[in-house]
Amino acid sequence: MGDGTGRKVHSSLGSQCGGFSWQRGCATARLKKRILKRTQECRPEGPALQVANMLVIGMMSGTSADGMNVALADINGAPPKLRLKLLHHTSRSMPAALRKEVLRVAEGAACTAGEISQLNFRLGIAFADAAASACKEFRVALSRVELIGSHGQTIFHQGRPVEFLGRRTASTLQIGEPAVIAARTGITTVGDFRVADIAAGGQGAPLVPFADYVLYGDENIGRVSLNLGGIGNVTVLPAGARPGQVLAFDTGPGNMLMDALVGHFTKNKQKFDRGARLARQGKVNVKLLKELLRDPYLKLGPPKSTGREYYGRAYFQELLRLGKKHGAGPNDLIRTTTEFTVASVVDALKRFVLKKTKIAQVIVSGGGAKNPLVMAQLAVALTPMEVLGSGRFGVPEEAKEAYAFALMAYETVHRRSGNLPSATGAEAEAVLGKICCAGVQ
């Protein structure tokens, strides 16, 4: 598929539209009329976009599966003049039994196809409930929202092709059925974003760099957007960069290992190290830290991506073993792992970024931005660069990824690409996601 500019653009539009073509009524009548009008107006040779703003919900559940983040955005325009504003954001805890099952499956435990199918639909119900509950909190009627973008919950990600049944194959699987979300909310929903990038030869991650480019790109200031969720990832935005000059990759563990240790040592009474209180009571075990920094993933060059399939249960068990080997007590192990997270980010920037690109600011989002020890250590290690929370730029640290998927859904229904091949390694730009319609009118 082409986009009128000669670029290759892969598209998965309409694959969840119940057999109807886009033109014949995949979307609700209200949304279809607006989208078709916008699509005509958005062609490169056409006039500037002059339509009313669209209210879009974005939803995200990260690697830790500890909750569902919901963002409501007001979006208008088309690249390079996209206009977006974060109106509200909130989060909803995932039911304990559901989270336990998600983590069990994501860790590779034995399960049946039936269990995965049931979990996909059950999680879709949870996301739909989160969207409805959030709108009630925002005092915004669901009927006013025109679109939902739901990342879903990753339970498997193999971004680099590996040998499988005679062919090198890459794949990814996010669950939380978007058709269920659409049906239960009455709002057309875009989900399953990552597969189109992998189909185009990319790793399916990271995808948030598209939003980072829109939000933080600057003609005069080089910036890095660092997200510390379960996994750490960076988007490198050189001053005056065009989309093809953006570099992004997963740096290694974010909060995943720290949170796992806290849950383990507190017998699940705490989910994370609030205020770094436990880490501050421990000391860095230098020998252990040096051993952790020999992690082969850290030396892989970008594009690269990782997740629970690498930094999951097996890695965690090895971390506990190494802690015992080096005589690290519980708080020492938490402190050392916190330092490991910071060191892996700093190593990635020094190894792959700072030798080539001048960076003045590092903008941090995700749960790790709420950890004062992490932020303090980053500030020291990255001097003279400024280390700033994304809240300083109008995007609360916990809201950015959900906000990003609202933007990507908006681009998808306008038949525009949402990946950056320079970040994912894809051979072409791709229209991301599958559109699940709330009804046919």
pLDDT-derived band at 65 (thresholds 50, 70, 90) equals confident
Out of 17-21, 90-94, 224-228, 414-418, least confident range: 17-21
Task: Using the Cα atoms of residue 143, residue 13, residue 8 and residue 235 in order, give the sign of their dihedral.
Answer: positive
- The candidate with the shortest Cα–Cα distance to 26, out of 179, 142, 132, 143, is 179
Instruction: Say how many residues make up the chain.
Output: 441
Number of neighbouring beta carbons within 10 Å of residue 360: 14
Which pLDDT does position 18 carry in this prediction?
33
- pTM (two decimals): 0.87
pLDDT in tens, 76-118: 999 988 999 999 999 999 999 999 999 999 989 999 999 999 9
Q: What is residue 47's predicted lDDT score, i.e. its pLDDT? A: 38
What does the pLDDT read at residue 16? 38
The long-range contacts involving 346-349, CB below 8 angstroms and separated by at least 24 positions, are 346/378, 346/381, 346/382, 347/251, 347/293, 347/298, 348/234, 348/249, 348/251, 348/252, 348/298, 349/224, 349/234, 349/382
Q: What is the pLDDT of residue 439?
A: 73
Tens digit of pLDDT for each residue in 138-182?
Answer: 999 999 999 999 999 999 999 999 999 999 999 999 999 999 999
What's the pLDDT score for residue 31? Answer: 57
* Averaged pLDDT score across all residues of the chain: 90
Q: Which of 37-51, 291-305, 345-359 has the lowest mean pLDDT?
A: 37-51
> What confidence score (pLDDT) does residue 97 get?
95
Q: What per-residue confidence (pLDDT) applies to 46?
A: 39
Give the pLDDT band of residue 427 (cuts 50, 70, 90).
very high
User: Which pLDDT band holds residue 66 (cuts at 50, 70, 90)?
Assistant: confident
Average pLDDT over residues 258-285: 96
Task: State the average pLDDT over residues 247-263.
Answer: 96
User: How far is it, in rounded angstroms, from Cα 252 to Cα 209?
Assistant: 17
- The CA angle 295-164-299, to the nearest 5 degrees, is 20
- Is residue 22's pLDDT more than 60? no
Residue 20: which pLDDT band, with cuts at 50, 70 and 90? very low
The number of beta carbons lying within 10 Å of the beta carbon of residue 235 is: 26
CB atoms within 10 A of CB 290: 11
> In this structure, are strands 231-237 and 223-228 parallel, antiparallel, or unpaired?
antiparallel
- pLDDT(36) > 70: no
**What is the per-residue pLDDT for 366?**
93
User: How many C-beta neighbours within 10 Å does residue 416 have?
Assistant: 20
Question: pLDDT confidence of 63, banded at 50, 70, 90?
Answer: confident
Question: What is the pLDDT, as a whole number, of residue 34?
Answer: 57
Pairing of strands 189-191, 231-237: unpaired
